[in-house]
Structure formats: structure tokens, C-alpha cells
Amino acid sequence: MNPQVKMKADLPGKDWFSAWIRVASRLLATLFLWPVFLPRWAGDRVEPADEGCILIANHHHILDPIFITFLYRSNRLSIVAKQELYRMKLIGRILKAFWTIPLDRSIADIRASKLILSQIKAGRIVGIFPEGTRVRPRNAGTAELHSAILIYSIKRGVPVLPVAIEPRYRLFGRPCYHFGQPVRYGLKEGEALTKEQQEGLAREIMRRIYVTAGLPYDYPEAEKNRVLFEELITVLPVRDTRPVGRKKRRHGD
């Protein structure tokens, strides 16, 4: 089944008014945000051709999801947003127009992960910030991580698309968004994970994102978790991909 068919039936945002909101929002961002910050991007900006994935990124500024949506223009992208934002009528309507997924942070991580995975199964690219909220780069290594979705992706072979953000949010600062290749993490045969190992692997995935962004990610168990990751996890590229916004050309064809 073509994932694009199912996902449009599952989420709002396919009506003409939502399309108008997306165009207007991007125009406003071009006029008022782009000239101030001059964001740039690096990488190939590709998406899995025939399956959903999770897009994970570090999070430091309110503009992170806005510029990700602007630079990664896939109509399969749905960024997870806290449910409280939907109570503000204008912001909530804009979020719906961009196929955003509301997340009730009061429910358990497992239930939240199942909601996200249902959208991935429907063929969507679900954008999440594992840190859950904005953090200062110097505090990143000690910030709490919501790791359940990352562990689900490892156990179920869900593709992961990393985005590393250099948060240069100042006048003409040129924040940079590094779009990585989608990969499939997997457990080596016969391995099982303790809760401590799960947290350590999630930390190592985030550390790699921070390294790509040229940011520190220091904490006492960093080397231990790096070794743990190399011992337990396989990393395979998702070979069947296509440039974002295109339907015909595929990398590897």
C-alpha cells in the first residue's frame, strides 16, 4: 500500500484551508524569520521511499521545529507537539495544518510511543525531540531523555533520520540543520536490554547527534555507553530513499 494514501485519511491537514495556511506560514517565515537568522542546512534531505520513520533532533529554541518544517518539506512529516498548544486557537489551527501530532505529556511513555508508532506504520515521518523541551547545550548531557520511542525503533527496526541542530539563534547567526541519512538500528542476535542499557543507548544516539552539530554532550557514563552501543547495536543504512518532495528518483537505483 502506498503510505501516502493511508496517512492523508488519518490526520487533518488535507483540506484547502490547511494548504493555504501552510503557504501563508512559509511566506511569513521567509519574510520575517529568514532574513533575521539566515538558517542553512547540510546533508541530502532524503526520506525512506516506502515506509515511515522517526526524525530525531536536539532541541534548544522555539524555532527548531519551524525551521525543520521549512527546510525539510515533506508532506509526510508530522512533528510531535505538546497538547497544551492546541488550546490556543490560532496556534492549534496552524499545527493541524502541518499534520502535527498532539502529545499528552501526562500519559505514560509507552502509550505515547504507541501513538507515534501508529503514525509511522501509516507511512509518516514523525519528528520528535527526545529531550522533550528546550535545553541549554551545556546542560544537554544531564537533561532528562524520553527514550521509549528510540528503544521501540531499535527493537522493531523502525528507520531513524537524525537531524543535528547548531542553535545559532542570534541576528544573522546562521543556525545550521544537519540532515543525516536514515538508518535502521537493531539489536545483535540474542541480546536483551535492561532499563539502564536502554537509557545508555538513547544517550549515545543523542551524543552522536550533538557531535554532528559540533556541540558538547558530556556526562560521566559517556564512554561506557559508547562502548555499549558498539557492542550491542547494528546500524544499517536505509537504501531505498528519495529526495524530499520528489516521487520518482531513488538513491541507490
Per-residue pLDDT, 10? 57
CA gap 142, 124 in Å, rounded? 31
What's the rounded Cα separation, in Å, for the pair 81 and 240? 29
- pLDDT (tens digit, 9 = 90+) per residue, 2-57? 444 344 435 667 788 888 999 999 999 999 999 999 999 999 899 999 899 999 99
> Nine-digit cell at 160?
531513524
Q: What would the mean pLDDT of 193-216 be, rounded to a whole number?
A: 94
Q: Which of 94, 119, 85 is nearest to 9 (CA)?
A: 119
Domain boundaries, the chain: 3-243
Task: Tell me how crowded residue 22 is: count the other CB atoms within 10 A of its CB.
Answer: 18
Quick: pLDDT tens for 102-129: 877 666 555 666 778 888 999 999 999 9
- Please give the CATH number for the structural domain made up of 3-243: 3.40.1130
3-state SS of 137-162?
A: HHHHHHCCCCCHHHHHHHHHCCCEEE
CA distance 8 to 19: 13
Tell the residue number behind the cell numbers 535502521, with chain if given.
184
pLDDT at 176 over 50: yes
pLDDT value of position 2:
43
Give the per-residue pLDDT at 99.
86
72 DSSP 8-state letter: S
Convert the pLDDT of each residue in 50-107 to its tens digit.
Answer: 899 999 999 999 999 999 999 999 989 999 887 777 788 888 888 888 888 887 766 6
Which DSSP helix (H) or strand (E) runs through 7? Answer: helix 3-10
The three cell numbers of residue 69 are 518544517
Q: What is the mean pLDDT of residues 220-236?
A: 95
DSSP structure class, residue 62: T
DSSP secondary structure string for all residues of 105-123: TTS-HHHHHHHHHHHHHTT
Residue 94's pLDDT is 87
- Please tell me the predicted confidence (pLDDT) of residue 6: 45
**Contact at 8 Å (CB) between 50 and 182?**
no
The answer to whether residues 241 and 252 touch, using CB atoms and an 8 Å cutoff, is: yes
Cβ(185)–Cβ(153) below 8 Å: yes
